[in-house]
Structure 1
Amino acid sequence: MTEPPGGPSPASRRALEVASIPSLRRVNDFLGNSTYSRRQYQPGICDFTLGNPHQMPQDAYVQALQSAVTPRDDQWFAYKTNQADAREAATDSLSRLLDVPFEAEDLYLTTGGFTALALALKAVADPGDEVIYSLPPWFLYEPLVVEAGLVPVKVRVNAETFDLDLDAIAAAITPRTRVVIINTPNNPTGRIYPPELLQSLAELLDEASARNGRRIYLVSDEPYNRIVFDGARFHSPVEFYPYTLLAYSYGKTHLAPGERIGYLALPPTMPDRRALGLAIGALQVAMGWIYPNGVLQYALPRLERFTIDVHQLQRKRDRLVRELGAMGYRLRPSEGSFYLFVHCPIPDDEAFTEALSQEDVFVLPGALFETPGFFRISLTASEDMVEGSLPHFRAAMERAGQNRPTD
């Protein structure tokens, strides 16, 4: 790595390596130096960028936090680790969702799903180990992997179905492979991986682990596992592969990403999970006391009783799929998550999204997800934003058609 002008940087090599990741630089540029960054708070815009709320939070959410902030004793705001009531509520809910008998002592509370992922990687992988994940990814996998001293290995999903490409994953595995990350329901594609695919993945990882003489772990990133459409039954990799670490975030369940609480859970089928748990517990302290704050932990038993209105998200999905499809956009209905991943009508997705932004319609270009030729729509936009955007999407498609070369 070349030194910056003016002499050596005071930053560490690791920090410089993270800062130089193209996907992270693109995200930072979009958030800090773009038309969106300058206009995101102006009234009347149609904001389909991030999974942020665009309507007032549910009364039940506000009331749960209001109750939790009222102290019951002099230790109410003392240091907190994995509070028993919060752990048990989360474990009971997860066990019902997946029909897997998780145990409370195998669930580790974290400051959001982001930290749960970092915790999982550092718990099972050593510097220099390889981590496989699929493109398009959540755009912060690579920074997490690199910050942990690990090596990202990227494969593409099936471009038509958005399913994992198991042949590509198998071909990417080497003796240095330690972790495979999957995300279901997927951000940005909205795909829920079917049980037969997860079973095949489990068999693939078992065979590769035996061949390498070293266990490959699966990290399942599941912040949207309660946000599924059309009455679908969600299946987690923990149902098929015992060496799975499950990362979860309540920021999606309640559309409150600024209130940081999540967890990392080990299934009861994982061999030696208690030994791994001792390492995870030590890392929770060593990574900077990454337990959620006390108020969120007190509120968690109440927060587990409800989610955001998934039916409202589905109505917005249906409206956009129907209307954009009629305009000529190519897209698959998402099966879960907050998102639609749409084929861009012109090759340059960044130019297309910039043109939309000039009309105050903001979406994320596929380039942010290392997948040019697409753009992502967040269904957390309000219904007014959905309706207000439609004429602009139509006009953008018409312009794209006018600019296409003729035979």
Structure 2
Amino acid sequence: MDDRHISDRVEAVAAATPFQMLYDFYRLSGYERRRHEPGVLDFTFGDPHDPPSAEYVEILREALVPQHELWFAYNFGDPAAIRAATDSLREHLGLPFEPEDVHLTTGGFAAISAALKVVGDPGDEVVYSLPPWFLYEGLILEAGMVPVKVPIDRRTFDLDLEAIAEAITPRTRIVIVNSPNNPTGRISPPALLERLAALLDERSERHGRRIHLVSDEAYNRIVYDGTRFRSPVEFYPWSFVAYSYGKTLLSPGERIGYLAVPSTMPAPARAEIRSAVETVQITGGWLFPNASMQYALPRLERLRFDVPLFQRKRDVMVAALREIGYRVAVPDGTFYLFPESPLSDDAEFARLLDREGVLVLPGRMFETPGFFRISLTATMETIEASVPPFAAAFAAAGVG
């Protein structure tokens, strides 16, 4: 008799390296206790460290007040919310989208998960670049698909198109692109995206099977230095946009986002995808946002991320780290830095920082040893207070 009570699929997800490291760090390392200790400076996750704005709280409060008897009924997608999201997509990406192709989801998680299951079958391959967001591998395995990982250019943090080309096989169904990238902050340049689109067209034709692109754009409104964000969808119509409001609103626990298909994708394909997305959302466990979040969305769309503040945080931290001796690239967007670790063992260096009262995530949690990630959602006061501990840890590493 087989006495196991866990499926092979779930065991595979739990054993995935990034998932296991994330779980161990969050649940088993003492992090939850450590981050609340007085004097500890937390730069780990993109959680808010400042109180939410009064306007944000008021919008949510008003959305909870029923206006009719069906206010909290099942909601496949509030029309006003979908219209607000569609208008925002058109404004920010400069691309045509139609409301019927914008599907509200419980954040970016659900958007990516739905896209995988809509076009992928068990055994299909999904190509993505390292360093990745933590949970790509887990989402792919949970969908019964096969993760295929490729490196980036560690000097520029750009996609390595040669590596992607080598990774594509007749089983490749999806390529995931994350721009602006978490954790590097790199925005993929237009010339590279044009070449990627040409590659995907050529390989789709060669293998007789369309490769889709999932564009993970959770940070597409958090860009610096006046940079214009260019979406991969602009260059490749066979794409999905996955977006989460949790980043720009600094509220990752309030789950709302969307999965969108541009109207540049041929109409017959879009028609098929519409009902397929809804099917996945229903059978996946009702992956639609709570009704109150949908009612709040038109007003939440008018709230703006404080880009100047976070650009100042970026500049202060980059300047301080470089003066100490760290090697760190200036990110184009997101609210992360991804400095090189002074020690080849980035986990050991993270422990050095911990002893100085500074919490960061080692690069191996992003399957990219030799780096570590800093989240700039920490307050400016925390950033300024962290400079001496960062200097002490660098000295303790014995570099230079």
- Are the counterparts in 2 of residues 132 and 152 from structure 1 also a CA contact under 8 Å? yes
- Does 1:368 pair with 2:334? no
Q: How does 1:191-210 map to 2 (within 5 A)?
A: 191-210=186-205
In the alignment, which residue of structure 2 is the partner of 1:56? 51
In the alignment, which residue of structure 1 is the partner of 2:389? 392
Q: How far apart are 1:8 and its partner, in Å? A: 3.2
Q: How far apart are 1:268 and its partner, in Å? A: 0.3
- Does 1:226 pair with 2:221? yes
Which residue among 94, 99, 107 is the counterpart of 2:89? 94
Q: How far apart are 1:135 and its partner, in Å? A: 0.3
Distance of 1:215 and 1:86 partners within structure 2: 31
Q: How far apart are 1:31 and its partner, in Å? A: 0.2
Report the 3-state secondary structure (helix = DSSP H, G, I; strand = E; otherwise coil) of the residue aligned with 2:206.
Answer: helix
In the alignment, which residue of structure 1 is the partner of 2:163? 168
Q: How far apart are 1:21 and its partner, in Å? A: 1.0
Distance of 1:43 and 1:66 partners within structure 2: 32
Flag structure 1 segments of 5+ consecutive residues without an equivalent: 1-5
- Runs (4+) of structure 1 exceeding 6 A deviation are none
- 1:293-317 per-residue CA deviation (whole Å, 9 max, x = no partner) reads 0110000000001222121111110
- 1:171-200 per-residue CA deviation (whole Å, 9 max, x = no partner) reads 000000000001000000000001111111
Report the 3-state secondary structure (helix = DSSP H, G, I; strand = E; otherwise coil) of the residue aligned with 1:160.
Answer: coil
Which residue among 296, 306, 311 is the counterpart of 1:314? 311
- Does 1:269 pair with 2:264? yes
Q: How does 1:250-329 map to 2 (within 5 A)?
A: 250-271=245-266, 272-329=269-326
- 1:23-72 per-residue CA deviation (whole Å, 9 max, x = no partner) reads 11110010012242321122332110000000001122111101111111
- Are the counterparts in 1 of residues 96 and 264 from structure 2 also a CA contact under 8 Å? no
Q: How far apart are 1:7 and its partner, in Å? A: 6.2
In the alignment, which residue of structure 2 is the partner of 1:382? 379
Which residue among 8, 14, 22 is the counterpart of 2:9? 14
Q: How does 1:21-36 map to 2 (within 5 A)?
A: 21-36=16-31
Query: What letter matches 2:5 in structure 1?
Result: P
Query: What letter matches 1:217 in structure 2?
Result: H
Q: How far apart are 1:388 and its partner, in Å? A: 1.0
Report the 3-state secondary structure (helix = DSSP H, G, I; strand = E; otherwise coil) of the residue aligned with 1:252.
Answer: helix
Query: What letter matches 2:367 in structure 1?
Result: E
Distance of 1:368 and 1:242 partners within structure 2: 32
Query: What letter matches 2:131 in structure 1?
Result: P
Report the 3-state secondary structure (helix = DSSP H, G, I; strand = E; otherwise coil) of the residue aligned with 2:104.
Answer: strand
In the alignment, which residue of structure 1 is the partner of 2:33? 38
**Aligned CA-pair RMSD:** 1.1
Report the 3-state secondary structure (helix = DSSP H, G, I; strand = E; otherwise coil) of the residue aligned with 2:66.
Answer: coil
Distance of 2:30 and 2:360 partners within structure 1: 11
- Are the counterparts in 2 of residues 18 and 147 from structure 1 also a CA contact under 8 Å? yes
- Does 1:149 pair with 2:134? no
- 1:304-353 per-residue CA deviation (whole Å, 9 max, x = no partner) reads 01222121111110001101011110011111011000100011100110
Report the 3-state secondary structure (helix = DSSP H, G, I; strand = E; otherwise coil) of the residue aligned with 2:252.
Answer: coil
In the alignment, which residue of structure 2 is the partner of 1:3? none
Distance of 1:354 and 1:388 partners within structure 2: 18
- Are the counterparts in 2 of residues 36 and 357 from structure 1 also a CA contact under 8 Å? no
Query: What letter matches 1:358 in structure 2?
Result: R
- Does 1:345 pair with 2:338? no
In the alignment, which residue of structure 1 is the partner of 2:109? 114
Which residue among 329, 334, 337 is the counterpart of 2:331? 334
In the alignment, which residue of structure 1 is the partner of 2:183? 188
- Are the counterparts in 1 of residues 352 and 396 from structure 2 also a CA contact under 8 Å? no
Instruction: Give the TM-score of the pair, scaled to structure 1.
Output: 0.96
Report the 3-state secondary structure (helix = DSSP H, G, I; strand = E; otherwise coil) of the residue aligned with 1:204.
Answer: helix
- Are the counterparts in 2 of residues 316 and 386 from structure 1 also a CA contact under 8 Å? yes
Query: What letter matches 1:324 in structure 2?
Result: L
Distance of 1:16 and 1:175 partners within structure 2: 27
- Are the counterparts in 2 of residues 35 and 357 from structure 1 also a CA contact under 8 Å? no
Q: 1:116 to 1:348 in 2, by over 3 A?
A: same
- Are the counterparts in 2 of residues 181 and 220 from structure 1 also a CA contact under 8 Å? yes
Q: How does 1:46-85 map to 2 (within 5 A)?
A: 46-85=41-80
Query: What letter matches 2:300 in structure 1?
Result: L
Query: What letter matches 1:144 in structure 2?
Result: L
Q: How far apart are 1:203 and its partner, in Å? A: 0.3
Q: How far apart are 1:79 and its partner, in Å? A: 1.1
Which residue among 352, 355, 360 is the counterpart of 1:355? 352
How many residues of Structure 1 are paired with residues of Structure 2 in the alignment?
398
Flag structure 2 segments of 5+ consecutive residues without an equivalent: none
In the alignment, which residue of structure 2 is the partner of 1:249? 244
Distance of 1:384 and 1:277 partners within structure 2: 47
Query: What letter matches 1:89 in structure 2?
Result: A
Distance of 1:275 and 1:248 partners within structure 2: 21
In the alignment, which residue of structure 1 is the partner of 2:212? 217
- Are the counterparts in 1 of residues 222 and 248 from structure 2 also a CA contact under 8 Å? yes
Report the 3-state secondary structure (helix = DSSP H, G, I; strand = E; otherwise coil) of the residue aligned with 1:342.
Answer: coil
- Does 1:239 pair with 2:220? no
- Are the counterparts in 1 of residues 101 and 260 from structure 2 also a CA contact under 8 Å? yes
- Are the counterparts in 2 of residues 64 and 302 from structure 1 also a CA contact under 8 Å? yes
Q: How far apart are 1:96 and its partner, in Å? A: 0.7
Q: How far apart are 1:19 and its partner, in Å? A: 1.1
